[in-house]
Amino acid sequence: MNITFETKSNCTVIHLTGRIDVTNSNDFETALIPILGDHRYSFLINCAELNYISSSGLRVFLLAQKKVMAARGHLFLCCMQPMIREIFDISGLSTIFDIRESEEEVLQQAD
């Protein structure tokens, strides 16, 4: 797993690459959760290059959503591979998250 951060249009964009599973979900949490406290309103997790997620990775997504909502911010997810989207759908998490097709769609709203 690789995670990078950048700021675009008043939004923190988080790019995920690779797998999030039990071996690295704690690293994902350690990298992600502090960023969500930087007093920004909008966060976008771009999942275009995420090719696997386990239940331990889903737990981190839920923690992130909870932290952003507590700060009255907004967390978007975008560019999910079909297999990743199916995992979110089957687990019922696609109803909890604001999932968009493209990064551009979110950034236009964040302006």
Arithmetic mean of pLDDT over the chain: 93
Q: Which amino acid is at 61?
A: F
Tell me: the pLDDT tens digits for 57-73?
Answer: 999 999 999 999 998 99
Give me the domains of the chain, ranges plus CATH numbers: 2-110 (3.30.750.24)
Question: pTM to 2 decimals?
Answer: 0.94
Residue 110 has pLDDT above 70, yes or no: no
Q: What is the pLDDT of residue 37?
A: 77
Q: What is the pLDDT of residue 46?
A: 98
Residue 104 has pLDDT above 90, yes or no: yes
